[in-house]
Amino acid sequence: MKLGIIGGTGDQGLGIALRLAKAGEEIIIGSRDVKKAENAVSLVKNMLADDETRNIRGATNQEAAREADLAVLTVPLQAQILTLKGIREELQGKIVVDATVPLDSCLAGRPNRYVDVWEGSAAERSQAMLRDQEVKVVSAFNNMSAASLTNADKDVDCDCLVSGDDPEAKKVVMELAEKIPGVRSIDCGALENARIVEKITPLLINLNIRNQIKMAGIRITGL
């Protein structure tokens, strides 16, 4: 599967690109600036073995969205709508994984405080924006720390909480997430449940700050 990491030059995007490239997926890291995308590719390649770097390259966000079979949106809240406006035509009929978390730091505030959005969650915001394109939006990867994802030599000690309204799209994303060593995917139901899942991230950030760590994650027991 060819994956486009939209806005993939930040820590979260780099981590997802790294892990899924290592798992053998074809990766296109997208950015508004192709030079930044190419620099991000170089960073990822430096963390991988030579035989794991063949299927990763940089492109503009628009090119990445056009060529990808599945797109992963990894931009901060303030860039979410503007980014989607620039690529909405290229996403027609595709699965879009939204990893956005509305954090107060996006508004120059605290990183461990959630910001309520009108649509209920960042993922529902994407769904509303892309509805005319028949896009299947799935919320995933929100609670995985970038530090865990970029620590490529160790398993990720965190479940992937997945929400979405299309069962087949969720299944594709859940199987993709479980290609990352240590990750178990949890079906959290409809996309509206992203309202709960996204709010776990500022809690984990708070735990990281309080305990002077970087890799706090969440596990669901009893399943």
Q: What is the 3-state secondary structure (H, E, C) of 110-129?
A: CCCCECCCCCCCHHHHHHHH
Residue-range domain boundaries for the chain:
2-211
**β-sheet bridge partners, residue 95:** 70, 136
- The pLDDT mean for the chain works out to 94
CATH-assigned architecture of domain 2-211: 3-Layer(aba) Sandwich (3.40)
Once rounded to an integer, what is the mean pLDDT over residues 104-128? Answer: 83
pLDDT of 61: 98
Q: 122, 100 in Cβ contact below 8 A?
A: yes
Q: Describe the strand order of the beta sheet including 160-164 as a list of residue ranges.
A: 56-60, 26-31, 2-6, 70-73, 95-98, 136-139, 160-164, 185-187
Q: 132, 159 in Cβ contact below 8 A?
A: no
Chain segment 88-112, per-residue pLDDT in tens: 999 999 999 999 998 867 666 677 7
Residue 20: band (very low, low, confident or very high) from pLDDT cuts 50, 70, 90: very high
pLDDT of 197: 97
Once rounded to an integer, what is the mean pLDDT over residues 125-154? Answer: 95
Q: 13, 29 in Cβ contact below 8 A?
A: yes
